[in-house]
Structure formats: C-alpha cells, structure tokens
C-alpha cells in the first residue's frame, strides 16, 4: 500500500527521484500514465494488469468508455528505476501534469501520484474546505 507525501525536484532532463518508500512496491519497472486532475498515476505492474482488465470490459459502443480508455492507455509507458532511484518522465507527460521543478509525490493506496507541487497545494486547500461534505457523501460506502 502506498501512502505519504514527498517533495522532490525534476531535473532538466526530466528525471525525478522515486521516494525510497515507494520503490520496492512499485518494482524495478512499473506503468506511468496520465491521471485525473492533471497529475500522473504510477501503478505497479500487477495493479496495472487489474486495471487493464477492468478497462477491457468497458463497452466499445459507449463513447465515454472509448474516450477514457484512449486517454488512459495512450499516455501510458513503462518506467524503469535507475541506480540512483530515478525515473525519466517523457516530455508529453511532464507537459500534461505541468511538471517543471518542484513535484509532490504522493501515495494513494494502490498507486503513486506525481503532481506539480503548486497544483497539489491548491488541490489540498480546495479539498480541505469541502472535506467534511466529501466524507459525508462517502458514508454511503461504509467508510
């Protein structure tokens, strides 16, 4: 399980250090893709396979299903962690998530998310304002 929040910087070549607490669970290689809310999602291979199986079951006849599947898979790539614990994030994914310098790397249960730190901080501030309402809405799910 991934949890916690870490601040790292992207270098000029698009490399970022993967927090040591996440490396073992992500594995030597994992899948990185465009996520929701303008961040990147990183999945260990076994979690990616579970998600892939679910997405394959979406009906091809539904426009939203096709759009989401295209969005998700077209941005996906396999990443390998180098000897210094870094990954190289391709330019198209850096641009999508606006990753330029300071990045927040967060654990979210079965995945890791990479955010531009200013975007992450804004998201947290906005979410904190409605956290009680969000929690109340989730009570229907026995949380």
pLDDT tens digits, 85-113: 999 999 999 999 999 999 999 999 999 99
Return the closest-CA partner of residue 28 out of 51, 49, 44, 52. 44
* Distance from C-alpha of 86 to C-alpha of 15, rounded to nearest angstrom: 6
Number of domains in the chain: 1
User: Global pTM?
Assistant: 0.92
Q: What is the pLDDT of residues 7-33, one digit of tens each?
A: 999 999 999 999 999 999 999 899 999
pLDDT at 142 over 70: no
> What's 19's DSSP letter?
P
Q: Is 42 within 8 Å of 113 (Cβ atoms)?
A: yes
Domain of residue 14, residue span: 2-141
Phi, psi of 105 (to 5 degrees): -115, 115
Q: Specify the residue for token string 């679910």.
A: 54
DSSP H helices, 14-116, are 20-26, 45-56, 63-74, 91-96
pLDDT of residue 71: 93
For the domain that residue 43 is a member of, what is the CATH number? Answer: 3.40.1550.20
């Amino acid at each position: 399980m991934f949890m916690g929040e870490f601040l790292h910087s992207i270098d000029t070549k698009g490399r970022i250090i993967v927090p040591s607490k996440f490396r073992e669970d992500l594995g030597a290689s994992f899948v990185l893709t465009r996520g929701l809310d303008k961040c990147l999602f990183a999945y260990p291979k076994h979690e990616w396979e579970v998600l892939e199986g679910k997405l394959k079951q979406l009906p091809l006849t539904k426009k939203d299903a096709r759009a989401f599947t295209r969005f998700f898979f077209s941005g996906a790539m396999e990443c390998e962690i180098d000897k210094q614990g870094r990954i190289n994030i391709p330019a198209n994914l850096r641009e999508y998530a606006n990753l330029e310098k300071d990045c927040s790397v967060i654990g979210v249960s079965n995945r890791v998310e990479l955010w531009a730190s200013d975007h992450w901080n804004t998201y947290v501030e906005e979410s904190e304002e409605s956290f009680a309402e969000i929690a109340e809405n989730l009570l229907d799910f026995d949380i």
